[in-house]
Amino acid sequence: MLGEAVDYFLKVDRGYWPGLFHCYDVAHLPRTNNDLERAFGSHRYHERRATGRNGARPALVLRGAAPLIAGLATRHREVTATELARAVRGAWRQVRSERETRRWRRVERHQFRRNPDAYLKRLEDNIHQSRLPT
């Protein structure tokens, strides 16, 4: 009976590929969903304390994961200027590009809601302009 249980355990264990539980390989990475929710709650708490707002800032949603990751990382230890200088600039540019794309989409949505006719006219003009021979 115990042998069958051990065999079953080993069979199930073989089904887990090495990268499946990477949370145990990375320090300070939340291990469970509850830990992850606690990390998000902690970030919201610190945001509210720093800004004086009753709720989380809308920028948390608008700016993507970068502020959340930076906030969680700096709570575990202080990041020095030397470490920031060694950052990979290509990755930084990629994050900046994603943030700018997200910001521009938001601006376009706002422009459309404010004046849909003018927004659609501008889109049509851009399409006609791109079709004209140069």
Q: What is the pLDDT of residue 118?
A: 95
Number of independent structural domains in the chain: 1
User: For the segment 95-121, what is each residue's pLDDT rounded down to a tens digit?
Assistant: 889 889 988 998 999 999 999 999 999
User: For the segment 42-96, what is each residue's pLDDT rounded down to a tens digit?
Assistant: 888 888 888 888 877 777 667 777 778 888 788 878 888 898 888 888 988 998 8
Q: Quick check: is 17 in a domain?
A: no
User: Which structural domain range is residue 97 located in?
Assistant: 89-134
Q: Quick check: is 134 in a domain?
A: yes
CB atoms < 10 A from the CB of 49, how many?
Answer: 9
User: For the segment 9-35, what is each residue's pLDDT rounded down to a tens digit?
Assistant: 888 888 777 777 777 777 777 888 898
Q: Quick check: is 72 in a domain?
A: no
Q: What is the pTM of this model?
A: 0.53
Residue 19 half-sphere exposure toward CB, CA atoms < 13 A? 0
Q: Quick check: is 16 in a domain?
A: no
